[in-house]
Every structure is written in structure tokens, then in C-alpha cells.
Structure 1
Amino acid sequence: MDDPTRRSGRVWFITGAGRGLGRAFAQSALDAGDHVVAATRTTAVLDDLAARAGERLLVLPLDVTDREAVFTAVDTAVRHFGHLDIVVNNAGILVVGMVEEFTEAEARAQLETNFLGALWVSQAVVPVLRAQGSGHIVQISSIGGLGGFPTTGLYSASKFALEGMSEALAMEVAPHGVRLTIVQPGGYWTDLYRGMRSTTPLEAYAPLRAELADQLAENSVDSQPRLAAEALMKVVDSDDPPLRVVFGSMVYDLAFELTRQRMRTWAGWEDVSRAAEHAVPEPVGASHAGGGQDTT
């Protein structure tokens, strides 16, 4: 499974490659002998890596919220290296705060980077991978993609949106030989936390914030980004990569616990759930709603 000959010459396109997990992914790919397109807002942070990697590394300035710039960057990458093999949507920001506290600008910033940015990159690379008949898209989600938690509601919203879009995309591109994996990492020592933004706190949530601070001090577990990079290499080297995978023991255990909780709740309300649906002939003039909301 770990055949250096097979891996030689692969081309990676990694967003958010200037720091944290993105940089670790880029370093790991270069160490494996691959080529990397490292897209980042600040290119200077990769000068040291570029000096060592030489022609195998192409550093591009990119703000993933700019759809036109994303398509231009992907086109530049393909013209430079000739093809793409692995695309890692890693760029993201963290805005923390209670849902009530978010301004419109803060909410939009969270969703435009973490969800729309990944959507634009996915849309830009799919035609390339589809034409090749091969490729692997890796969507970096989060523990926040497993559930919503106090102060990370909008972050989770961005990751839930990313995962829903990605599940559909995986089924759409599979017939064209393109694979997709959603990665849900736990905590890592990255600049995500140092660069995170916070809402203006409301006094009403002060007790909850104090409780959360105590829990974080007792239970925080963070790892070196290189461990996530090693895990990602195993995923992309696999002949049968998963649709979804978690990185880290804590997030692994949480995934199972949250699923069990949901299953218990669903089972407890089974009678109500089943009574809410009963097939009837289509009324005259009606259209099939498909389970959607009535917008009238």
C-alpha cells in the first residue's frame, strides 16, 4: 500500500498550506517525493519550504473566498504541473461565540471561508479530475462536523454544510473515477486557535463560558500536526479510501458517543416519527415536495 514508486510524481493542491495542518500536509507530500501546489494567503511563510523543495513546490497566493481567484489558481497549477492528483481543502478560520452574539459579518466570514471556499475549489478541480478519470479530493472537516457545541455553533454550521455538500459530490464524481474523503480531525497545535476571532460576549452567557473554560483546562488534548499528515498519507495511499475518517482517539470516541445518543433519541421518538408519514395518492394539482419545507 505504501509504494514509493506508485506515489512518485503525484501533484497535490493544498489550500491553507501556509500553517498548521496544511503546512504539515505539504511537507509530508514533499518528503514522499511528490509535487505540491501550496495555496495560501501569505506566501512568505513558505519561503523556507520553497528553498528546500525547489521545482517540486509551487506557492500561490490565494484567498479561497474569491471564486474567480480560485479558478485562476487551479488553472495555473494544471498548466504548471500538467495534472492534479490530490486536492486538499484545508483553508479555514474559527470564529468563536454564542450563536446569539454573531454579527452578520462574523457569520458570513465563517461560512464563506470554511464552506464556500471549499465549494469553489471543488468546483474548480472537478472538471480537471473528471477529464483525467482519476483524482482524490480531501475535505478537511473537524470535530465540529460531528456535532454543535457551545461557542462553536457557526463553525459547526460551516463544517456541516461542507460535509453535506461533500457526500453528494462524492456520489456525483465516483462514476468518473474521482474519490472523495471527509477528514474529521481532533485537536492539533496549529495557528487556528491563535488566529481565531471572538464575538462580543453577552453577560447572559458568562456562567456557561466559565464552565466551558474549566472543562477545556481539564480535558484539552492536542497533538502535533505531523501525526495528522502521516494519517492522511495512509488515506490517500489506500486502494479503497474511506468516505469519512476521524483523526485522533478523542474524536473517534466522540463520534461513536454522539451517534449512540442520536440513535437513542430516534428510537425513543419512533412512534411519533412513523406516524408523521403515510403515503396517499397525489392530490390533484399537487407537486412532489421531496421532504422539503413549504415556502409559501
Structure 2
Amino acid sequence: MNKIVFITGASKGFGRLWAEALLKRGDKVAATARNIAALENLKDKYGDQILPIILDVNNRAEVFEVTQQIVKHFGRIDVLINNAGYGLFGTTEETTEQQAREQMETNFFGSLWVAQAVLPVMRKQGSGHIIQISSFLGLTTLPLLGLYNASKFAVEGLIETIGSETAHLGIKTSLIEPNGFATDWAGASAVQTTSDIEDYNPVRAAFNESGENPDTWGKPEATVKPILELIDNQNPPQRLLLGKIAYHTINEAYLKRLTDIQEWKEVSISAHGH
């Protein structure tokens, strides 16, 4: 059965790649972005299968209006791929208030507004799948990405909670946690803080050196099959790591967390008081 999929941030990167893959196999896609000019060739090729709509996820009222427009056009929303977001690079100390607020506004609040807009639709249907693009940096951290890390940690808690609140209504949630991929996420789409404090130069140098290894960056096209498999699965996982860096990094991080938890078990239990 063909699905109706609502994708935010669909003009480039993962959003564009997955939208095209869904259209190619016969699904219908509501593709939203702040600039939909990049979707014109998909509209030419797939016609009524795709509904390109301008959307700024930071505008809550606009998010609700666009969601209703999608329902009116296609009749339902089977899958939401909440993909809009960007990276903010730089040390935490050097991040301005405006940069911090804008990062949270798009990555966290934008995701919240879209989820809130889609949930009434899915509740009425008695079915739906919310797929939230997070990051492996929603489960661990890297230096120079403090606010990005924080936004994704927040998104993780948000979507996991929605999943626990809506499971009895037939609504499923999944968090996608990619490592770095060769999209423009770290390029044109990224925002950079100032870097005037020399004390952080060693951290910046190490970070830049790690990014020079081509093996660090996954191939975006390799994510298509896993995403389609996730969408088609009747019992999708709550979390899906994408990429070998993500898998090995998170596996190691969680093993260390469990070790620390066990080592401090008696102290933790004694803190309960009875």
C-alpha cells in the first residue's frame, strides 16, 4: 500500500534524497522547505505525487496551516519525517545568545510544532508513524557542537515521551540517529560562532583534524534502503543509528555508562533513604 509522507527540510540533504526515493517507488510526498525551488524538477517528473509547500518550522501557526493543507490535498498523513534542522559549530563559551536561541528554536521547537500539528491527524486516523531525525549526538557529545548536542538531547526526550503517550492510539515513533554524512549539513547549512579565545585552539585543531578523514563521513545514498525499511516495518524500533561511526561510538558510550552505574550502585541506592 502506497504511503502519504510529510517531510520537512525536503529541499536538500537527507530530506531531498528520501523524498525522491519515496516518489520513485510510488508513495505520495508532501515536501516542505523554506525554499522549494529545488523541488521543481521533482514536481515536473512526479506531478501530483508530490506537493511542494513553503514552510518555516519556526512559525507554529504556519506549521498547523500547512499540515491541514496536506490533509486536505492527500486525505491523510501516514508518516511524518521531521527532518528540518541545522548545525551550530563553535565552543559553548563563544556562542551568542541569539545563536543559542535560534539553534533551539529550529532543532527543538520546530520539531515540537510539527509533531503537535500532526498528532491530531494521526489520532483521528488511529494510525501514524512519526520519524524524527535526531543525531548520534543526541546520545553522546562532541566538542564544538554544544548547542547542537543539547538540541538533539532535547529532541530525544521529546519524541520518546510522545511515543509513550500515543502508543495505545496506534501511533509509532522512531528516532533516527546518524553520524556525520557527506551532505551540506557541515557546509553551507551550518552556522559558525566566533573563535577568538585562543585557549580553545587545541580543541578546534583536534576537531578539524578528525573531520579530514573521509571515512568519518557516511554516504547519504546508503541511507535510502534503511529508511524505506523503517517506514515499511510494522514494528519499527524506537531508535535507529545510521552509520558505523554512530554504531561503534554509541555502543562504547553506553557500555561505559553502564559500568559507571554499576560501580556507584550502592551509593545510588543509599541516596534513596529507605
Query: Normalising to structure 2: TM-score of the pair?
Result: 0.96
- Rounded Cα–Cα distance in structure 1 between residues aligned with 2:200 and 2:180: 24
Q: CA deviation at 1:188?
A: 1.6
Consecutive unaligned residues of structure 1, counting only runs of 5 or more, are: 1-5, 280-296
- Could you tell me which residue of structure 2 aligns to residue 96 of structure 1? 89
| One-letter code aligned to 1:199 | T
- Could you tell me which residue of structure 2 aligns to residue 268 of structure 1? 263
- Rounded Cα–Cα distance in structure 1 between residues aligned with 2:267 and 2:91: 31
Q: CA deviation at 1:223?
A: 2.7
1:197 paired to 2:191? yes
1:29 paired to 2:28? no
Q: CA deviation at 1:111?
A: 0.6
- Rounded Cα–Cα distance in structure 2 between residues aligned with 1:218 and 1:268: 36
- Could you tell me which residue of structure 1 aligns to residue 216 of structure 2? 221
Flag the 1:219–1:20 CA change in 2: closer, same or farther, 3 A.
closer
- Rounded Cα–Cα distance in structure 1 between residues aligned with 2:94 and 2:27: 44
Match of 1:162 among 148, 155, 178: 155
Cα deviations by residue, 1:93-135 (Å, 9 ceiling, x for unpaired): 1111111111110001111111110100000000000100011
SS at 1:101's partner residue? coil
- Could you tell me which residue of structure 2 aligns to residue 206 of structure 1? 201
| One-letter code aligned to 1:217 | E
Match of 1:11 among 4, 12, 16: 4
Q: CA deviation at 1:220?
A: 4.7
Structure exhibiting the larger radius of gyration computed from Cα positions = 1
Match of 1:236 among 227, 231, 234: 231
- Rounded Cα–Cα distance in structure 2 between residues aligned with 1:53 and 1:206: 49
SS at 1:64's partner residue? coil
Q: CA deviation at 1:212?
A: 1.9
SS at 2:124's partner residue? helix
- Could you tell me which residue of structure 2 aligns to residue 114 of structure 1? 107
| One-letter code aligned to 1:235 | L
Structure 1 vs Structure 2 CA RMSD = 1.2
- Could you tell me which residue of structure 2 aligns to residue 67 of structure 1? 60
- Rounded Cα–Cα distance in structure 2 between residues aligned with 1:208 and 1:141: 24
Cα deviations by residue, 1:15-63 (Å, 9 ceiling, x for unpaired): 0000000001101110110100001010101111111010010000011
Q: CA deviation at 1:67?
A: 0.4
Give the stretch that moved more between structures: 53-62 or 190-199: 190-199
Q: CA deviation at 1:191?
A: 1.7
- Could you tell me which residue of structure 2 aligns to residue 52 of structure 1? 45
User: Is the contact between residue 185 and residue 228 of structure 1 (CA under 8 Å) also seen in structure 2?
Assistant: no
Match of 2:76 among 60, 83, 93: 83
Match of 1:43 among 36, 47, 53: 36
Q: CA deviation at 1:219?
A: 6.6
- Rounded Cα–Cα distance in structure 2 between residues aligned with 1:219 and 1:256: 22
Consecutive unaligned residues of structure 2, counting only runs of 5 or more, are: none
- Rounded Cα–Cα distance in structure 1 between residues aligned with 2:179 and 2:222: 11
Cα deviations by residue, 1:220-256 (Å, 9 ceiling, x for unpaired): 5223322212211001111211111111112111111
Q: CA deviation at 1:215?
A: 2.5
User: Is the contact between residue 163 and residue 182 of structure 1 (CA under 8 Å) also seen in structure 2?
Assistant: yes
Q: CA deviation at 1:189?
A: 1.6
SS at 1:59's partner residue? strand
- Rounded Cα–Cα distance in structure 1 between residues aligned with 2:45 and 2:213: 40
5 Å matches for 1:140-159? Answer: 140-159=133-152
